[in-house]
Amino acid sequence: MADWLLVDNGSLRPASTLRLRELAAALSRRVGENVRPVSLLHSGKIPPGELGGESAVVLEPSLRRGLENGQSVFRVIPLFFGPSRALTDYLPKRATALRRRFPDLDLRIAPVLCDADRGGETRVAEILRDHVLERLAPEEPPPPVVLVDHGSPEPAVARARNFVAGQLSVLLGGRAARVAAASMERRDGDEFRFNEPLLADLLAREGFNSGRVVVAMMFLSPGRHAGPGGDVATICGEAEAGHPDLKTVMTRLAGEPPLLLDILADRFTQLRAGAGMAF
């Protein structure tokens, strides 16, 4: 019997853990199995009183407790858009360390939400399209759209973001003047230049620094970056202060709609059929 886990990166903000719990509960109802909400890191530091009295669950301690109690089969559904190093580096290393003590550990992870190398999956772009359309003013000309994510040290994550931006441009068609991808932030150094342009820089460019600009939020959960008063909102506010004719309009986050559950349920089915990557 597998222990099913819906895994996000984790956050110090309670709203992120509460959103993960909502998604895990909805996915459990959809697939008819108990899917537990688990974070890779960070969330264990949130005071339980801010989470309804129940502490957040962090992956490695949870795996260890399960292994100590005789559970050896774990199936991970990643709540990640692209192949973050948290999945491709951190998780395999922790699995290797646990397997030294628990050689029977059977850990398998489903594909991420958007695998740009595989192609053919449009549902993330469809979610973002629907959110952009909610923010359009029908009496105004089609605005430019900026699809923004956090930014990552992993080039494959940026490729996934850019892949979705291309799909979004096709799906919006004439409803958007143009669609561009941007990162909220990036690490210093030329080796991380693939994250360019930054959102702040793009909103200073001609074609994006005046009129209405829709900022499509490629974030799954509210937190320090994407929550109310978060970093993206601050960047947009500063851009408007520097360009009085600019009005940015942010969309809802991508972790809300039913279509996301369709993707997660498919990942569950793939894992149950033996697909996914073993660590």
Domains and CATH numbers, the chain: 3-114+257-278 (3.40.50.1400), 123-250 (3.40.50.1400)
Return the number of other C-beta atoms located less than 10 Å from residue 34's C-beta.
Answer: 11
**What's the whole-number mean pLDDT along residues 157-169?**
95
What percent of the chain has pLDDT above 90? 86
Question: What stretches of 136-257 show up as alpha helix (H) in DSSP?
Answer: 155-172, 199-202, 231-242
Check whether 139 has a pLDDT greater than 90. no
pLDDT at 12: 86
Average pLDDT rounded to a whole number, residues 122-144: 94
Q: Does residue 95 register a pLDDT over 80?
A: yes
How distant, in Å, are the alpha carbons of 50, 71, 95, 200 from that of 262? Answer: 29, 28, 28, 33
Least confident of 19-33, 88-102, 104-118, 137-151: 104-118
Sign of torsion over alpha carbons 279, 41, 269, 251: negative
pLDDT at 119: 64
**Quick one: pLDDT band at residue 118, thresholds 50, 70, 90?**
low
Q: Which residue(s) pair with 213 in the sheet?
A: 248
Which of the four pLDDT bands, split at 50, 70 and 90, describes residue 149? very high
Residue 117 has pLDDT above 90, yes or no: no
pLDDT tens across 188-201, in order? 999 999 999 999 99
- Could you tell me the CA-to-CA distances from 149 to 90, 183, 216, 226, 270 in Å, in that order? 21, 5, 9, 9, 27
For residues 178-190, give the mean pLDDT: 96
Residue 215 has pLDDT above 70, yes or no: yes
Q: Which helix (H) or strand (E) holds 63?
A: helix 59-68
Mean pLDDT estimate for the chain? 94
Residue 73: strand pairing partners: 106
Please give the average per-residue pLDDT across 68-76, as a whole number.
Answer: 97
Asked if pLDDT for residue 224 goes beyond 90, the answer is: no
Residues 6+ away with beta carbon under 8 Å from 258: none
Cα–Cα distance measured from residue 149 to residue 225, given in angstroms and rounded to the nearest whole number: 10
Percent of the chain with pLDDT strictly greater than 70? 98
9-20 average pLDDT score: 92
**Count of alpha carbons within 13 Å of 244, Cβ hemisphere only?**
0
pLDDT at res. 120: 66
